[in-house]
Structure 1
Amino acid sequence: MPHIAGLPDFRAGKNPSGPCLADDREKLDNAAFLRRVRGAAAVLRAHGIGPGDVVAVVLPNRLDLVVAMFAAWRLGAAVTPVNPQLTDVEARHQIEDSGARVVITEEPGRPIGTLDVTALSTGEHTEEDSEPVAPREDALALLIYTSGTTGRPKGVMLDHANVAAMCGMITDGLALDENEHSLLILPLFHVNGIVVSVLSPLLAGGRATIAGRFSPATFFDAVERARPTYFSAVPAIYAMLVSLPPEVRPDTSSLRRVICGAAPMPAELIARFENRFGVPIVEGYGLSEGTCASTLNPPSGPRKPGTVGLPLPGQTVAVMDADGNLIDDGSAGEVVVRGPNVMRGYLGLPDETARTIVDGWLHTGDVGRFDEDGYLVLVDRIKDMIIRGGENIYPKEIENVLHAHPAVLEAAVVGAPDLVLGEVPVAHVALLPGAAVTTGELIDHCRASLARIKVPVDVLVTTTLPKNPVGKIDKPRLRAAMRP
């Protein structure tokens, strides 16, 4: 596998006219991709970018973002992708915290920008740009900022060794080859979009198409046009797709499999998608601090819905009790990860890093257990646990029961303050199109499967559940709405 910084050169040398990267605006073969990267590197060099610098990219999903990323790596610099939907105040925190020397935007005059993206395609490369810098394996490659649900976003430092290890694991785990064609629909400011849908297929010799803003009404039109072999999405996207009118029957024959990450996917939703569209879902689990993925349901089987699969080769996934002892009897504990994919740390936050990585183990904050076949079952997030009168309740258990109801599309359970019990569970539910069910019926449904203490005190039926920028259900917002 070539060094990531030299990937454009490697691909152009091996197959200049082979397809490489496309978006809604244009298509690049390998030779054209290399020319664009070299030209963009010349522009960044003229703006003072060199080894050890950071380039911020504030762009929606488009081909130029990938070009800018490889151009920065070509010069030995790192990249921090910024959610373009952030306000200038929010974006400025990431830009200043990362120490970015250049900020690439597509909005002329946006105060945070220092370089318009159109300038990248006008650069003329020189001899200096002919050969990429070969960054050290421990050189910073990406600064990915967490979604900030537990405070101000933190910069996750991923070096070239982290990224290379993760891409190798993804390529092997998904059995990617030169015939792969990914359709990118997740945001490129998130590590999943970068690693799973761009870097891994390109390193495997395949190609990638970058879709514009996701819309369930037009998504399958893009699938039929591009003919991808896979795409990666979050449960909310799959929920929107299964909610499409029954007359929508797209041609999905090009898809070998599709991937789900970012949040656990209910087994009922997996079954609905697979039965309707005839494409297997491969569910995985990971986090930005682990450079994307740590477990994966093997595409060749057996896949076990309700689990997030087996540990990826090359890293160790375990569960640990509160005293730091590894658990091997199938009981639940905190999920911990060790391997070359574990981040270098949080930028400028040594104490936070020391609390998160202990003796080489990345503490995920997730509660899980291994089943009899070694598949990881996620129980819940530690911070999402509800304590009702001293009893611990994991919302995911209640959510799983609600998902089993035929009218329920999405469910989220959070704790609401209670003067006597401290917290009580309240469920928020979105229904399948055309479905109807009462609050009382859903509560009775829960009573049939759950102990009395776990039954929600209320079920709030809504049109849709709020999502964060990555597409996860925004539980902090739901919790805030519960406060008096």
Structure 2
Amino acid sequence: MTLDYFPWVLAARFTDSPAVRDRRTELTFTQLDARVAAVSSQFAAHGIGHGDVVAVMLPNRVELVLAMFAAWRLGAVVTPVNPAFTSVEAGHQLEDAGAVLVVNESGEELRPGAPSIAVGDLATEPVGPVGEPAPVAPTDLALLIYTSGSTGRPKGVMISHANTDVMTATIGEAVELTADDHCLLVLPLFHANALMVSLLATLRVGGQLSILESFSASGFLDEVERLRPTFFSAVPTIYALLVTKVDGRDMSSLRFVVCGAAPATRELLAACEEKLGVPVLEGYGLTEGTCASTLNPLHGPRKAGTVGKALPGQRIRIVDEDLQDVPTGTSGEVLISGDVVMSGYLGNPEATAETVVDGWLRTGDVGRLDEDGYLTLVDRIKDMIIRGGENLYPKEIENAIGSLPGVLEVAVVGKPDAVLGEVPVAFIVPYPDANLTPEDVIDHCKSRLTRVKVPTEVTILTELPKNPVGKIDKPTLRNTLSA
């Protein structure tokens, strides 16, 4: 299988055209291919081969791209790891994925028996023989991207090369990407959105990618003016910050921008289109669907308040509790089908069978379709909290809090926030003889969770509200926050 996003394929087509850059490094397609070959020889010297899992735990930078492509050159699988993870969080992912090599900033060993390579030690020249790229079958895994459901620990979403090929080609066609396009990347490369929309969809057509390591509104706008990108993909929180700073800036290089990962208000979308002067394409998707399943069109009606229509090759259904279709305009669970649906959850056939039913991906989201096929998201069945575009899963936070001695019951819900959309807050019932304070809970969370997952507030209660069957009544808790 030959794929248009492999650098050795791209180098033959686009040679000395610019490919990727960050503040340290700038590579043409030919140079990208050569650097990938060098790193792959280094990986091969560590015994990496077909089907092995390489973990890449780096912030946004060119070396993350090099490591991913180098693993693919050997037929290996990549699991991108959030570089802000604590050792507990990273350790679970590395162990569950079976990572046999880790690329990180320090070179510190994060999994016993799995050597680590510091980013500064990645090869720039071959360290041994550089063979031909390994053959790749469509069903071979490309990525293991970890995501949590509303229960349990994070699960490894198995994304095949066939999934990746279809997804990136579809995105490119939907927004008419060509070799003249230039993407400014600000979203984290351990997420499917950045990998599929910004990186691979752009490179496969010969476009160029400029990678930013972090975001500030003024700094981002400086880079738009300096680098002259034609598009970028971001989350509503970023757009909310940009519209307050964009007046007087030259945004004329842009031809569209993409908004996703969390719902955006009609008012924000309208303000963005006015201030940026280009179409804002809002879409929707899940990691389990490789990235995107709907998108408001580049040409044609863009319906604010919707997340657009199904992308080519995908179908959207709205069903009731029995998975039977409901009438147009009626709310129900959103189901997705197409060649982008994941291969499954790694080592978890039960969860896979619950999520993918007869080829249809159960999203856990509630939505409705209008007569033109535009999808409006109504609610989330799962309790996921979206903080500034970052998906947070209450059960993971609850598990961390529950490991603190003295905690009897815990519930974590999202509290509305004007800037971030939602933030996690916790409600705790301690054991009668425990002397817990909110500060104790927050300090415990800081030792086990990434900063964005740490509750912004902790409320100590004598009891939690329960529904008639005895389960914690989270809607009631949410209502107390929004009242």
TM score, norm. by length of structure 2 = 0.79
Structure 1 residues 81-230: aligned runs within 5 Å: 81-109=80-108, 111=110, 114-124=116-126, 127-129=129-131, 131-147=132-148, 150-230=151-231
Residue 429 of structure 2 is matched in structure 1 by none
Q: Distance in 1 between matches of 2:215 and 2:419?
A: 21
Change (3 A) 1:426 1:73: closer
CA deviation string 1:251-291 (max 9, x = no partner): 11111101011111111111122222222210010000000
2:182/2:230 contact within 8 Å kept = yes
Q: Distance in 2 between matches of 1:211 and 1:426?
A: 29
1:428 pairs, out of 407, 416, 439, with: 416
Cα drift, residue 133 of structure 1: 1.1
SS in 2 for 1:230: coil
Residue 7 of structure 2 is matched in structure 1 by 8
SS in 1 for 2:11: helix
SS in 2 for 1:229: coil
CA deviation string 1:57-102 (max 9, x = no partner): 0100000101111100000000000000001121011011100100
Change (3 A) 1:153 1:384: closer
Cα drift, residue 483 of structure 1: 6.5
Residue 286 of structure 2 is matched in structure 1 by 287
Residue 19 of structure 1 is matched in structure 2 by 18
2:286/2:292 contact within 8 Å kept = yes
Residue 79 of structure 2 is matched in structure 1 by 80
Letter in 2 for 1:316: R
Structure 1 unpaired stretches of 5+: 386-394, 397-413, 415-422, 433-468
Change (3 A) 1:338 1:470: farther
Residue 61 of structure 2 is matched in structure 1 by 62
Letter in 2 for 1:182: C
2:282/2:308 contact within 8 Å kept = yes
Change (3 A) 1:111 1:355: closer
**Are positions 1:310 and 2:309 aligned together?**
yes
1:186/1:470 contact within 8 Å kept = no
Q: Distance in 1 between matches of 2:137 and 2:2?
A: 14
Structure 2 unpaired stretches of 5+: 387-393, 395-410, 421-448, 463-483
Change (3 A) 1:32 1:278: same
Change (3 A) 1:480 1:155: farther
SS in 2 for 1:121: coil
Residue 402 of structure 2 is matched in structure 1 by none
Letter in 1 for 2:307: V
SS in 2 for 1:55: strand
Q: What's the C-alpha RMSD, in Å, of the aligned pairs?
A: 2.8
Letter in 2 for 1:21: V
1:98/1:347 contact within 8 Å kept = yes
Q: Distance in 2 between matches of 1:481 and 1:162?
A: 43
Q: Distance in 2 between matches of 1:311 and 1:184?
A: 24
Change (3 A) 1:182 1:346: same
Letter in 1 for 2:293: S
Q: Percent sequence identity over matched residues?
A: 51
Letter in 2 for 1:42: S
2:318/2:368 contact within 8 Å kept = yes
Letter in 2 for 1:135: V
Residue 252 of structure 2 is matched in structure 1 by 253
Q: Distance in 2 between matches of 1:272 and 1:83?
A: 32
2:237/2:419 contact within 8 Å kept = no
Cα drift, residue 26 of structure 1: 1.2
Residue 242 of structure 1 is matched in structure 2 by 243
1:43/1:123 contact within 8 Å kept = no
Q: Distance in 2 between matches of 1:372 and 1:358?
A: 25
Q: Distance in 2 between matches of 1:215 and 1:149?
A: 31
Residue 449 of structure 1 is matched in structure 2 by none
Residue 342 of structure 1 is matched in structure 2 by 341
Residue 261 of structure 2 is matched in structure 1 by 262
SS in 2 for 1:187: coil
1:58/1:81 contact within 8 Å kept = yes
